[in-house]
Amino acid sequence: MHTPKVYVATILVYVMATVLTILNLSVVTVIFAMLVLLIYHLVLHATQKVENEHRQKEERKALLYQLDKTQKQTHEAAGRFLTLLEVIDSGLLFIDENELIKEANETFNRFFSLGSIIGETYETLKPIKSLYRVVHDAFLKETKLRQQIVIDQQSYDANISPVFEGKWFRGCLVVIHDITPIKTAEMFQKQFTADVSHELKTPLSAVKGISEILMRETNMDAAQRQDFINMIYHETNRLEAILSDLLIISKMDRLDYELKRENTSMKALIDESVTLLEPAATEKQLTLTADVRDVMLAVDPVKMRQVIINLIKNGLSYTDTGGVTIRAHKQGSMYRILVTDTGIGIPKDEQAKVFKRFYRVDEARSRASGGSGLGLSIIKNVVQKHGGTIALESREGDGSTFIVDLPLIPEID
Ligand SMILES: Nc1ncnc2c1ncn2[C@@H]1O[C@H](COP(=O)(O)OP(=O)(O)OP(=O)(O)O)[C@@H](O)[C@H]1O
Ligand SMILES: [Mg+2]
């Protein structure tokens, strides 16, 4: 392509020729002049060509650099994407329009242990019947499907989405979440509701039954009537205790539940609890002693007092002779509280279960003492919320020791 410079040179040639003709110069001079101009024109043209070539080379170089950069970026993005696919907590599978598995991440393999499936058709999913069926359906209908599947007691939520490029079906993306913890919590909640209903129903039925007798038997003697009234009182007390424990549990189960920590003298807290329960011990002719080293701990004093009181109460409830002793001292990085009784003890195979909600080793005995079976589960929850642990050492018929370890949390300012 000619640049303005070339045009200017060409015009100059013609202008010169015209001028020379006008000035009536000799033909040789004119030819010479024209030759000079032609050479000038050619040199200019050659220079221009070199310049153009150089510029094009530079442009090509810049373009190549840009292309290389874009390729590198794409490669890096693809790498990042693949790493993400691998580390993501959901199982991912991509099946193309020819029904071939093109991608299966590590999590998918961990969930279903199908071995190497890339390059296989999705028929290879057949061992996981429910997953295969829903993938197959999604392929047939080219539509989004969702299905919960259970394999080896694990629950999964499978989402199958068709992938389209414009209007062309390009395959299906399968995303699988492990929802076992949610399902377990759901089941736990259902069981808890059933247990609560059962626990409330028993005393309520008793109250109802006794009231009906009292209404019907108008000629009952005073002593018997009093017995029935006492029974109603006992059952309503139980109902009240269950409801108050349930309220504590539901408060502590809240995600935003926070302990109200205060710098607390553990000796003062334990001594207060002992003083409170001395009358109950005396009434059962049991001893209640404490040997406590003091330490200041940042605990929730109300909740921690409930822990100590409930452990002592249990000791007194399940002991007929002897008594309960509380010891407390520093043990490494922990403050250890031991509540020991000389009572009926807990059989080995029941020891883990007693911390479960509503669990009672001897239902009749616990009911007689007004127990709801919620005490130890609340104690465990409070101790854990303080960052501590609770353990149990016991032999049937030989007493029990509950051991609470609390971290020696520095005092709060
Ligand atoms: N010191 C103990 N000695 C023997 N058995 C015990 C002792 N502490 C608890 N248990 C057993 O563990 C069960 C659960 O105890 P937990 O304190 O949770 O419930 P509870 O005492 O029956 O009722 P509550 O909710 O009123 O405390 C009791 O029913 C009892 O069978
Ligand atoms: Mg109890």
* Cα 306 to ligand 2 centroid, rounded to whole Å: 11
Ligand 1, residue 343: give the atom nearest the CA: 3
Q: Which ligand is nearest to the CA of 361?
A: 1
**Secondary structure (3-state) at 390:** strand
Q: Which residue, by CA, sits nearest to atom 7 of ligand 1?
A: 314
**Mean pLDDT, rounded, for 235-259:** 91
Q: What CATH class has 88-178? A: alpha beta
What the block records as the tokens of 263 is 């710098």
Q: Which ligand is nearest to the CA of 339?
A: 1
10-57 residue pLDDT tens? 787 677 767 767 776 677 777 787 788 888 888 988 999 999 999 999
Contact criterion met (CB below 8 Å) for 281 and 322: no
Residue 3 — pLDDT band, cuts 50, 70, 90? low
Residue 84 — pLDDT band, cuts 50, 70, 90? confident
pLDDT of 399 strictly over 90: yes
Q: Which residue, by CA, sits nearest to atom 31 of ligand 1?
A: 361
Characterize the bridge pairing of strands 154-165 and 296-299. unpaired
| Number of Cβ within a 10 Å radius of residue 287 | 13
In this structure, of 78-92, 275-289, 372-386, the range with the lowest mean pLDDT score is 78-92
* Cα 371 to ligand 2 centroid, rounded to whole Å: 6
Which residues share a beta bridge with 262? 299
193-203 residue pLDDT tens? 998 998 899 88
What the block records as the tokens of 30 is 């004119």
Q: What pLDDT is recorded for position 57?
A: 94
121-170 residue pLDDT tens? 999 999 999 999 999 999 999 999 999 999 888 999 999 999 999 989 99
Q: Where are the beta strands (DSSP E) in 179-304?
A: 262-265, 287-292, 296-299
Q: What pLDDT is recorded for position 232?
A: 95
Q: What pLDDT is recorded for position 411?
A: 63
Residue 85 — pLDDT band, cuts 50, 70, 90? confident
* Cα 76 to ligand 2 centroid, rounded to whole Å: 61
Local structure of residue 411 (DSSP, 8 states): P
Q: What pLDDT is recorded for position 367?
A: 67
Amino acid at 318: Y
Q: What pLDDT is recorded for position 25?
A: 65
pLDDT of 88 strictly over 90: no
Asked if the 260-413 domain carries CATH number 3.30.565.10, the reply is: yes
Between CA 155 and CA 168 the distance in angstroms is 33
* Cα 269 to ligand 1 centroid, rounded to whole Å: 22
User: Quick one: the chain helix, strand, coil %, rounded to 5?
Assistant: 55, 20, 25
Residues with beta carbon inside 6 Å of ligand 1? 245, 310, 314-315, 318, 341, 343-344, 346, 354, 359-362, 366, 371-377, 400
* Cα 256 to ligand 2 centroid, rounded to whole Å: 26
Between CA 90 and CA 88 the distance in angstroms is 6
Ligand 1, residue 378: give the atom nearest the CA: 18
Between CA 49 and CA 47 the distance in angstroms is 5
**Mean pLDDT, rounded, for 222-235:** 93
Please choose from 313, 314, 320 the residue to mutate so as to test ligand 1's pocket, defined by most ligand atoms within 8 A of CB: 314
DSSP letter string, 309-350: HHHHHHHHHT-SSSEEEEEEEEETTEEEEEEEE-SS---GGG
Q: What pLDDT is recorded for position 116?
A: 87
Nearest to 336 by CA among 287, 292, 386: 292
Q: What pLDDT is recorded for position 363?
A: 75
Q: Which ligand is nearest to the CA of 402?
A: 1
What the block records as the tokens of 402 is 């509950």
What the block records as the tokens of 230 is 């006492």
Please choose from 245, 360, 380 the residue to mutate so as to test ligand 1's pocket, defined by most ligand atoms within 8 A of CB: 360
> End-to-end distance of the chain based on CA atoms, in angstroms?
84
DSSP letter string, 5-54: HHHHHHHHHHHHHHHHHHTT--HHHHHHHHHHHHHHHHHHHHHHHHHHHH
pLDDT of 376 strictly over 80: yes
**Mean pLDDT, rounded, for 395-400:** 94
Residue 389 — pLDDT band, cuts 50, 70, 90? very high
Q: Which ligand is nearest to the CA of 393?
A: 1
Nearest to 312 by CA among 336, 335, 331, 286: 286
Angstrom distances, CA of residue 209 to CA of 4, 202, 218:
115, 11, 15
**Mean pLDDT, rounded, for 329-342:** 96
Ligand 1, residue 363: give the atom nearest the CA: 29
Buried b / exposed e over 299-311, threshold 16 CB at 10 Å, is bbbebbbbbbbbb
Decide which of 3.90.930, 1.10.287, 3.30.200, 1.10.10 is the CATH code for 200-257: 1.10.287
Q: Which residue, by CA, sits nearest to atom 21 of ligand 1?
A: 371
pLDDT of 412 strictly over 70: no
What the block records as the tokens of 278 is 């001395």
Contact criterion met (CB below 8 Å) for 148 and 158: yes
| Number of Cβ within a 10 Å radius of residue 369 | 12
90-112 residue pLDDT tens? 999 999 999 999 999 999 999 99
Please choose from 317, 324, 341, 359 the residue to mutate so as to test ligand 1's pocket, defined by most ligand atoms within 8 A of CB: 317
pLDDT of 1 strictly over 60: no
